[in-house]
Amino acid sequence: MATHSYENALKAVESLSVEDSRRLLEELSARLAKAATRAKKRSIMEFRGLGKEIWDGIDAQEYVRNERASWDG
């Protein structure tokens, strides 16, 4: 049903003059910008602990030591 509404809107827009199309574009852009500013702000801290199971049982110092040793070839 949303696709049907979109197609109807698109057909209506095609019948607009260039000036009215420009006005519509400006209005839609303003609405999208306003909606984007209302969107929930995300924090990098939401990723805390994500993937920690990958490192389970791995000694951090040993891992870093091995990585550094691999740099020398």
Confidence of residue 73 (pLDDT cuts 50, 70, 90): low
Its pTM stands at 0.47
Q: Convert 24-56 to b/e letters by CB count within 10 Å (16 or more is b).
A: eeeeeeeeeeeeeeeeeeeeeeeeeeeeeeeee
Domain ranges of the chain: 2-40+47-71
Cα–Cα distance between 62 and 28 in angstroms, integer? Answer: 55
Question: Tens of pLDDT along 1-27?
Answer: 577 899 999 999 999 999 999 999 999
| Tens-digit pLDDT profile for residues 31-70 | 999 988 887 788 999 999 999 999 999 999 999 999 999 9
Note the pLDDT tens digit of each residue in 24-39: 999 999 999 998 888 7
Return the pLDDT at 41: 81
